[in-house]
Amino acid sequence: GDSVTQMEGPVTLSEEAFLTINCTYTATGYPSLFWYVQYPGEGLQLLLKATKADDKGSNKGFEATYRKETTSFHLEKGSVQVSDSAVYFCALGRNKLIFGAGTRLAVHP
Amino acid sequence: DTEVTQTPKHLVMGMTNKKSLKCEQHMGHRAMYWYKQKAKKPPELMFVYSYEKLSINESVPSRFSPECPNSSLLNLHLHALQPEDSALYLCASSRLPQETQYFGPGTRLLVL
């Protein structure tokens, strides 16, 4: 069946560092791919999405490219801020969302 | 506007109580979802409503009873819950089934 695998956290970075959170998926066909972010004590916010191969989703300095050949959707940001500290979920969408386990990011000044 | 609202924000209930969670969206979305999220885990799908009809029930115990009175409103009725049901309950909606889902802030439930 469909599944999503994320790198384990926590990821701890200094402010202005480069961020990569790896996400790979297993699925038949061409599902949509998403990154959601969850700040402490809050619900999930859609960060970005891509609906077909080679699409690049971007928002708030974050980017991810839908790579069919490597079945990946890695999240990147060139310069993280303390306010980016949160849990990031990669998800695959069909008739329901299939989430990865989540990666906690902590950014220190 | 992609706002989904949920009430209450927090809820404490005993195992013999009956309570309800409410979710509302005014974006004209025709699919609505209930998820349960335990600490340090991803959300788990509970129910999906599509055009006000229940389309997916992920084998959820009958002490959880969903209701979709109209296209903007989704309720989750709770009865005789167990302490292990304590979690963050998230509602989401999408324009159509299988499209991008937008989440509410959640209701944090504690069962004593």
Residue the block writes with tokens 């990666």 = A103
pLDDT in tens, B34-49: 999 999 999 999 999 9
- Give the other-Cβ count within 10 Å of A82's Cβ: 12
Local confidence band at A96 (pLDDT 50, 70, 90 cut-offs) = confident
Chain B residues with CB-CB distance to A43 below 8 A: 6, 88, 90, 103-106
Judged by CB atoms within 8 Å, which residues 65-94 of B form the interface with A?
A: 88, 90, 92
A2 CB burial (10 A radius; 0-12, 13-18, 19+): middle
Local confidence band at B80 (pLDDT 50, 70, 90 cut-offs) = very high
pLDDT of res. B1? 59
Closest-CA residue of chain A to B4: A43
What is the rounded CA–CA span in Å between residue B38 and residue A68? Answer: 31
Closest-CA residue of chain B to A87: B40
Q: Which of A34, A49, A95 sits opposite B97 (nearest CB)?
A: A95
Residue bearing the bigger pLDDT, B98 or B60: B60
Q: What percent of chain B has pLDDT over 90?
A: 95
DSSP labels, A41-66: TS-EEEEEEE-STT-EEEETTEEEE-
List, in sequence order, every residue forming a beta bridge with A27; answer none if it has no partner: none
pLDDT of res. A30? 87
> In the 8-state DSSP scheme, what is residue B93?
E
pLDDT in tens, A10-19: 999 999 999 9
Q: In Å, how far is B104's CA from the nearest CA of chain A?
A: 6
- Take residue A69 and report the two structure tokens written for it: 């050949």
Instruction: Report which residue type is found at A34.
Output: F
